[in-house]
Amino acid sequence: MEQTNTVADAVQTTTQNATQTGDWWGLLLYCLIIFAIIYIFMVRPNKKRMAEYQKMLDSLQVGNRVMAAGIYGVIKKINEKTIEMEVAKGVVIEVSKNAVASVE
């Protein structure tokens, strides 16, 4: 009867081979390459996106038209963590700054 190899079996076999042959440098290099790929394709772009978003939040001004939580409105007052925006004539709501998705 044939055994099917799973990813876990392959990793275990690779680890056993590395420890048996004393090839820790190869295993370490392999791990570093994987972490570098994850950093380049996942962490860096996310940090860049978050920096741009924070810059947009810092540039909010009274009178800007924004979309927050799916609702469009005009900013009437900016507080430390919230904004007050007018969604209709005389209707002012308070939403979190983090809910702002875009500025027009």
Q: Model confidence over 33-79: pLDDT tens digits?
A: 999 999 999 999 999 999 999 999 999 999 999 999 899 999 999 99
pLDDT tens, position by position, 12-34: 776 666 555 567 788 889 999 99
Q: Is the pLDDT of residue 1 over 50?
A: no
Domain ranges, residue 92? 61-104
User: What is the pLDDT, as a whole number, of residue 14?
Assistant: 67
- Per-residue pLDDT averaged across 1-11, rounded? 59
Distance CA 92, CA 3 (A): 67
Distance CA 48, CA 39 (A): 12
7 and 37 together in one domain: yes
User: What is the count of structural domains for the chain?
Assistant: 2
Distance CA 11, CA 8 (A): 5
34 and 65 together in one domain: no
Distance CA 94, CA 73 (A): 11
